[in-house]
Structure 1
């Protein structure tokens, strides 16, 4: 649509005629140019008339903010400063030599692709089918033809992965910009032996003349976590800063929850707070408390539990949220897995992995059953002795 309007633009001015006698050059020469949000870019348009006459050159905008333009004899320079998403659109350079007119069209693409990835769960357990989700935050554009997501093992896509769904939510920003959070979920096959130490979630943005990728490591626990006695879970708390990787430094591996993107500027002096999970239950039952020691205006909520949140009782009160099992048998008979709670606003996560003792009879039930079996054996023995003593002897 924009290119069609751009072609008609000089006609509206009454300028377009069959061109000859000069060449209109634009730098950069590509018809589509991608610029990141916040960056600046310069576009230069030049025309030299074949007959030596002075050429007139001018940048024009089409249904968009043009930018800063400085024109002179034979050239025109367009600056796009601190590009915003709303600055995307078509620019047209129009040049003329006497009665002959020329034009070049440039389509400006503005994108947002920060290195802000999160995964859930933060660590995988080898030897079982499991779901994993990866989210790219604050991106634009976000269509599947531009943004692709995959799971990598050793630099190659992991085989046997089943894509479950893809979800995209928008996040309005100041002005007219609109950013998106894109989440893709997969069902993983059981990871083989020897188990890989780490997988990666990779998100790639493909634009004309540009391809960018970000990766986030997902550690793989080498076998299930050790069996723990009731009320002795592994508590995972978020680190003070997000995990970052670069070609110059070794990759960091952590099973901590990566900090969700902070909507505030990077130079903000406000230190983000994080939720924490504590166990407050008595022996034989489960009760967990998620709390955030932050200022007013924050709230925490439970987002994940083994077997689904519907199997538990939850109660939320601002910066505190409780989760109880509702059953005294929880500590001995329950599905193992991750408990997770979330802080809002901010989206920081706290996680806890629990593995119960092997489901078995309680000690009192086991003692009663053993006593019953012993009593039956003793009764059979007494009946046998009485039968031998009382039966008539053969002569």
Structure 2
């Protein structure tokens, strides 16, 4: 840690990092500048080639997302959506990364970087081998002369919760992006921003999985095995702690149809868990047991048998989120839905992602267009719940990171 950073109360993670005040005086780059694209594509190449990175599926997914071909698609999509609007970078973006999804800070930082901004990124202090792999790779790249322009516009740091440090960083930013739980959002929001700055917050969210019971039972074994693996990837990559990982499984059909389909579905998922998943922490197993017992006592949920403690299921007589009883780590609440309209009473602004199989896009689109939904920001097929996109929680992030100049 350099002396300046130590005196400031934060740990700068990159050598020769600029101060927050230096970032505020630095001229932004053009959106999708050659310098920004070169760094993002360079990190993609490192992650895709590194044997160490390939031990973490989320890092492979990140590397794939950062490929130059995908960056060009992002640029074209931005051009299409902005039309004739004249968009410029906001200036400095301050990102507060979550502790439960190690790669979010890169997605947030790079979308802002590609928008032309300088960036301050606060990483979680929670130990994470994935985050350390990323920081090391980023530091190596930014030390190269060809990436000097990005290094001069990047401050990656860590610090223990400290409103004084947050206030200093917030004072120089033009947009603040908070990724974290409700408590984190409330705490950061207590620290004021410059009057001209804006803010976007991503708080606690809850996600669902939807399967059509009869169509599941009619599927062939090859498709079922692939879908079970896709569901596992959605739910278990971050031990079910990602906001977009399904916590409730809904079976479209009668209760009997749902139970029959579930009896075929879960053993296939358990086989994938047994083959791929590392053992959870002891406290996770205890928390799941307490959550299931509490739900059964208070609401009459039926605890279902499972092959191992890595999967815990509770069948509900009536659909309800029961957010306060959920602890992640492979715990699933389960229920039958008579039809898609029965989904509506479940929805509120805390519901983020609906991952689905056996239901068509047209059926889901008809649900959305028939009457406004109180919740759900995205609907994706199984296997894509964790896919990051430029539109997240209903926010168009490139537009968040840019401002529009109108000329009359």
TM-score over 0.5 for the pair: no
Q: TM-score normalised to the size of structure 2?
A: 0.23
Q: Which has the higher contact order (CA 8 A, sep 6+)?
A: 2
Q: Which has the higher helix share?
A: 2
Name the larger-Rg structure.
Answer: 1
TM normalised by structure 1 equals: 0.24
Q: Point out the structure with the larger strand share.
A: 1
